[in-house]
């Protein structure tokens, strides 16, 4: 039987099988109806790539504090703290943030369990840097505008995004146009292999950039290239196939 929900991904989906795959992972139906399993298969929650990524952010943005949105098990938060950045994070998953799933070096008080589609529990202009890695593809299209507004509200200046986009193969989509899943619609069997990661909005990079546009937000392609020059390709190879977006948020006049 498939683990894919009939019409909406909820926080319960993001459990130990999603992150650690201790029993084989999440079961989904392939286009031909046969069953397969998928997971991050990461029992310890370690990813050494967090070190060069957070070091690059420190050099680029000089943040005193940081918020990692959709932080998962909190690895980025721990590595940012190693560099003296006052880092926090929140995630939808109780398992990832709780004692069972949380990365061993991340303290519980640094993280919040929170639904990004509800008002964020942080003051306006709270963070020098707000990051969201493999996050926006998990947000239903109807919620994107609110979530983006909250992202900009809590950001003092810098936003760093990494988004899975269409046309890159694997879980990301079958073709360049991608797909958009609705909360109240059943997920087609042919898309379960893409959606098993919880990806509900998989669209081209240009479409993401259009959705992120605000009068006081500026796309910084130069800083994207600077970041790429600082981090080894073997660390961010998958990111380079998807979309890295750096934004500068200015005060509204």
Four-residue CA torsion sign, 203, 194, 164, 252: positive
Confidence of residue 40 (pLDDT cuts 50, 70, 90): very high
What average pLDDT does this structure show over 39-57? 97
What's residue 173's pLDDT?
53
Is residue 251 scored above 90 in pLDDT? no
What average pLDDT does this structure show over 123-132? 98
CA-CA distances (angstroms) from residue 146 to 136, 141, 143, 151, 230? 12, 10, 6, 9, 32
Do the Cβ atoms of 138 and 70 come closer than 8 Å?
Answer: yes
At 166-211, the pLDDT tens digits run 976 555 555 678 999 999 999 999 999 999 999 999 999 999 999 9
Look up the pTM and report it.
Answer: 0.96
**Percentage with pLDDT > 90 across the chain:** 91
Ordered domains of the chain (ranges, CATH): 46-249 (3.40.50.150)
Out of 22-36, 49-63, 117-131, least confident range: 22-36
What's residue 208's pLDDT?
97
At 91-104, the pLDDT tens digits run 999 999 999 999 99
Which pair of structure tokens corresponds to residue 176?
């360049």
If you average pLDDT over every residue of the chain, what do you get?
Answer: 95
What's residue 227's pLDDT?
98
Residues 207-218, buried b or exposed e (16+ Cβ, 10 A)? ebeeebeeeebe
């Amino acid at each position: 039987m498939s683990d894919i929900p009939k019409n909406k991904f909820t926080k319960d989906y993001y459990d130990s099988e999603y992150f650690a795959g201790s029993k084989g992972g999440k079961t989904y139906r392939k286009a031909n109806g046969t069953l397969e399993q998928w997971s991050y298969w990461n029992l310890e929650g370690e990813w050494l790539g967090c070190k060069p990524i957070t070091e690059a952010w420190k050099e680029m943005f000089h943040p005193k504090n940081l918020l990692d949105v959709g932080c998962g098990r909190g690895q980025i938060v721990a590595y940012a703290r190693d560099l003296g950045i006052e880092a926090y994070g929140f995630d939808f998953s109780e398992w990832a943030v709780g004692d069972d799933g949380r990365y061993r070096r991340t303290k519980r008080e640094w993280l919040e369990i929170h639904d990004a589609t509800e008002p964020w529990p942080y003051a306006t202009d709270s963070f020098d840097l707000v990051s969201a890695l493999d996050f926006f593809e998990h947000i239903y299209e109807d919620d994107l505008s609110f979530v983006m507004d909250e992202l900009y509200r809590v950001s003092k200046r810098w936003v760093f995004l990494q988004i899975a986009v269409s046309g890159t193969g694997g879980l990301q989509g079958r073709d360049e146009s991608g797909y958009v899943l609705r909360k109240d619609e059943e997920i087609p069997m042919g898309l379960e292999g893409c959606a098993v990661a919880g990806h509900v909005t998989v669209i081209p990079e240009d479409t993401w950039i259009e959705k992120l546009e605000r009068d006081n937000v500026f796309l910084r392609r130069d800083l994207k290239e600077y970041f790429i020059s600082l981090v080894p390709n073997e660390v961010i190879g998958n990111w380079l196939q998807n979309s890295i977006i750096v934004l500068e948020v200015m005060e509204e006049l």
